Amino acid sequence: MVVVVSAMSGETNRLIGLAKQISDLPDERELDVVASTGEQVTVGLMALAIQAEGGRAVSFLGHQVRILTDSAFARARIQDIDGRLITSALQAGKIAVIAGFQGADRDGNITTLGRGGSDTSAVAVAAALKASACEIYTDVDGVYTADPNVVKNARKIDRISYEEMLELASLGAKVLQIRSVEFGMKFAVPIHVRSSFNENEGTWVVPEEKAMESVVVAGVTATKDEAKITLPGIPDRPGIQAAVFRPLAAAGIVVDVIVQAYIQNGRTNLTFTLPSSDVARAQDVLAKHCSEICPPEHIKTDVNLSKVSVVGVGMRSHAGVALKMFEILATENIHVHLISTSEIKISCVIDAKYAELAVRALHDGFGLAEK
Amino acid sequence: MVVVVSAMSGETNRLIGLAKQISDLPDERELDVVASTGEQVTVGLMALAIQAEGGRAVSFLGHQVRILTDSAFARARIQDIDGRLITSALQAGKIAVIAGFQGADRDGNITTLGRGGSDTSAVAVAAALKASACEIYTDVDGVYTADPNVVKNARKIDRISYEEMLELASLGAKVLQIRSVEFGMKFAVPIHVRSSFNENEGTWVVPEEKAMESVVVAGVTATKDEAKITLPGIPDRPGIQAAVFRPLAAAGIVVDVIVQAYIQNGRTNLTFTLPSSDVARAQDVLAKHCSEICPPEHIKTDVNLSKVSVVGVGMRSHAGVALKMFEILATENIHVHLISTSEIKISCVIDAKYAELAVRALHDGFGLAEK
């Protein structure tokens, strides 16, 4: 058995807070040195706890095992794991307790993987050891067809494909860190998401199976705090999108759904969504860099939006899913601002006040409560 | 410039407390993993603080530089330091900030050096880099001829030899960790003990100099919480001391002054001192292992003792120092229980209630207030 642990609740925030007291924008190499101590403490305590229960355990830090990452401090990516130390601990009959969230680059600098990085560490270690499965212990029983706080009859999903889980994770279901699912998919590690508080079977995240295709929609999810910015009547010429999105990207503003609608006379409306918290900054950037394309006073913003999505690999072989989604929303008189689709997902941007109603209606309409 | 930092005040105790909540006797390898995070946090924060002031700084952990130790967890000894990473940081114009108290053994396990280990790290790093000096920043202005809280006219010592400092440190002056002085002596690193709160010149701990020999006594010090145990009338035969002290050592009880006085009829009194806190345990050990040598009901104990010492390399070339010490104590009507001497030190065990009086009398009697 190999255990990967994260920091104690609130500890990573406390450590980052210490650094932020010194500098608003602390050097990320040093920030990682400080932040990685959260997992170093728990890995030692976990080994002690196992020993106190009569087990044999030994702890390993990221640089010890060694979890090799690139040098992108605070958001490093795992490149390789040397499983030899872990394997010899296992062969000696010990439980290996490994610090999540952390690694070391080629020069031995301490790195961290960013928020939720311990999930990624766990799946990466499981992949390196060719483990039969990686169990993620969390505060919920598994992945549900919708947020059980919103939809009373939401059902725990027994098995879900990596692709579906990726879409759900990126669309607001916070059960698993996206990169951990990517890792699981890349190395075909079955991930079992389950509760820390009971022995119930949770949700298995696994490669796509034939049976999954008969289920058109696996889950419904909604994000909050979305906003929309529209640049009306801008020139419809090559490079115009790049001219708008380059300065936004340079300012670190992540744009989500983008829609461009042709009007007339070589002019077009460009609309995109972004987190509400970035709207003011985006307006500044556009006023500074794009005033020739669109005068600042013409720019329209719309906050208090939500993105509701249905996800399922069955969409690949079933037509009419989008149509059904629009019909369900129309029945509830919910206006759809923007639409975005992928092979296994349809998202609609709507007014935030209708988000919970939409999730419930879609959950019912697609019959997700029944297995 | 190279900076070695210790943990924030109280942090090492907090971390060890977390481990003790899990186990009364935690595995020391895991304890070191946890305890070493205190310095990992401060090393990152110190680098950030230097950067915030406009300096260039980079932090290094014990295993990064690398501070190689033996595998005696919680009390590891430094065996070697690879100064290359530090040197290249210095050559790049950076201040190297190094975590004290910690190292790594040959297998890469994290180790700690025990209490006060950061002083030792600092001197060891200075030795490895052949630094011109190691400055120890502390909460006092330097080393004094006696505790200034006890002796009003105690004088700050400008220069003191390693040997004298070693005796003072082991006799209760808590300014410097003993092992750091040993390291300084072994590698001839000048140690400058000075205050964190002002720019005053402190005390230089250096190799013995000719001028020092003219000063007979460099300082007076006193330990508290000493106790005395006497085994009266035990058989005076070879091996009797080993039979008494072997089980005490096995129980981890450190015995200090030992005096054996012949009485008559092949019988002797064996007396030794030890910390008051160990008396009860020592009585148990003696009752269990030495009842044939001395019945438990015959054993005499005496707590509330103090050991008062005068230290100075000048004693080597000056006779009569011990006599003068006894005369000074006799003038104050202070009874001497036990005497212990070394080449540069004389210690007298007395009743604890006279300790401060004795220190003041000796400080005056040996004229330490005058330079």
pLDDT tens for residues A87-98? 999 999 999 999
Whether the pLDDT of residue B170 is over 90: the answer is no
- The first and second tokens of residue B144, run together, are 């004094």
Question: Taken in order A43, A48, A49, A55, is the CA torsion positive or negative?
Answer: positive
Residues A142 and A156: beta-carbon distance below 8 Å:
yes
Chain B residues close to A109, C-beta within 8 Å: 64
Residue A232: in which H helix or E strand, if any?
strand A219-235
Q: Rounded distance, CA A258 to CA A341, Å?
A: 11
pLDDT in tens, B102-126: 999 999 999 999 877 899 999 999 9
Q: How far out from the chain centre does Cα B118 lie?
A: 13
Max alpha carbon distance in chain B (Å)? 78
Work out the minimum CA distance from B195 to partner chain A, whole angstroms.
23
Q: Give the per-residue pLDDT at B173.
A: 67
Distance from CA of A179 to the nearest CA of B (A): 27
Contact B43, B61 (CB under 8 A): yes
CB contact under 8 Å between B45 and A58, yes or no, is: no
What whole-number percentage of chain A has pLDDT above 70?
Answer: 99
- What's the CA gap between A199 and A202, in Å, rounded? 9
How would residue A260 be classed by pLDDT, with cut points 50, 70 and 90? confident
pLDDT of residue A172 exceeding 80, the answer is no
Least confident piece of the model among A113-117, B109-113, B259-263, B308-312: B259-263
Closest chain A CA to residue B65? A108
- What is the amino acid identity at position B105? D
Q: Tokens for A236, please give them.
A: 């419809």
- For each of the domains in chain B, give its residue range(s) and CATH number, in order of start: 1-131 (3.40.1160.10)
Collapse the DSSP code of B315 into the 3-class scheme (helix H, G, I; strand E, B; otherwise coil) and give the result. helix
Residues A139-149 as b or e (16 or more Cβ within 10 Å = b):
ebbbbbbbbee
**Cβ distance A194 to A205 under 8 Å?**
no
pLDDT band for A236, please (50, 70, 90 cuts): confident
pLDDT tens string A101-119 = 999 999 999 999 987 789 9
Task: Give tens-digit pLDDT for B193-240.
Answer: 999 999 999 999 999 888 887 788 999 999 988 999 999 989 888 788
CB contact under 8 A, A19 and B110: no
Taking CA B330 as the corner, what is the angle to CA B324 and CA B334, rounded to the nearest 5 degrees? 125
- Are the beta carbons of A123 and A135 closer than 8 angstroms? no
Which chain B residue has the Cα nearest residue A42?
B34
The interface pTM score, or ipTM, of the predicted complex is: 0.75
Q: What is the mean pLDDT of residues B138-167?
A: 92
Window from A62-66, A282-286, B17-21, B336-340 with minimum mean pLDDT:
B336-340
φ and ψ at residue A171, rounded to 5 degrees: -100, 10
A33 and B43 within 8 Å at the Cβ level: the answer is yes
Q: Which pLDDT score is estimated for B241?
A: 85
Q: How many CB atoms lie within 10 A of CB B237?
A: 10
